[in-house]
Amino acid sequence: MRPHAMRGLAAGLALAGWCGCVTPGLLPVTTEQVARAENRWPDMTAERLQAARTLCASRCSGCHAPPDPRDRAPALWPGEVQRRAQRSHLDANQGEDMARYLETGAAVGEARPVVARTP
Ligand code: HEC
């Protein structure tokens, strides 16, 4: 794992409750997120979400900081991942799970402060 991804993970774990500051690195998978994902896609598991997060950390951080799920509305993520699947060497299953990780991360993160961005 890349050093900045490790920092993000450590910060994410340490913060457990959100402080409203902008933390580089991927949001950790939360139990709320897992529940949402399992409800939405009956075949989804916590392990798959976690694996998708790890994959995102490795494949989506080579060119820029890893994406923050809260930077996009949930429904926009599948398209964002699709657009970048080829350059990130994702197969269809990896792309699908990554979209699910980012989409549910955005959904559970909505209540948190978000730096608004236009798509
Ligand atoms: C080969 C390099 C490369 C890889 C790998 C890559 N990106 Fe990017 N990404 C870019 C570049 C360059 C930009 C800025 C231009 C653009 O929007 O395409 C960008 C922009 C973005 C943006 C828009 C950021 C903003 O400010 O709104 C998002 C979101 C994003 N990438 C997500 C991802 C995700 C998710 C992955 C993994 C599936 C990924 N990227 C992998 C190069 C990459």
Mutate which of 63, 71, 89 for ligand 1 pocket (most atoms within 8 A of beta carbon)? 63
pLDDT at 13: 44
What is the per-residue pLDDT for 14? 44
- Whether residue 77 has pLDDT greater than 60: yes
- Please compute the mean of the pLDDT values over residues 50-57 and round it to a whole number: 95
Q: Note the pLDDT of residue 26.
A: 83
Average pLDDT, rounded, for the chain: 81
b/e burial code for range 21-60 (CB count within 10 A of at least 16 → b): eebebbbbbbeebbebbbeeeeebeeebbebbbbbbbebb
The reply to whether ligand 1 has any atom less than 6 angstroms from the CB of 67 is yes
* For the ranges 23-37, 45-59, 103-117, the one whose mean pLDDT is highest: 45-59
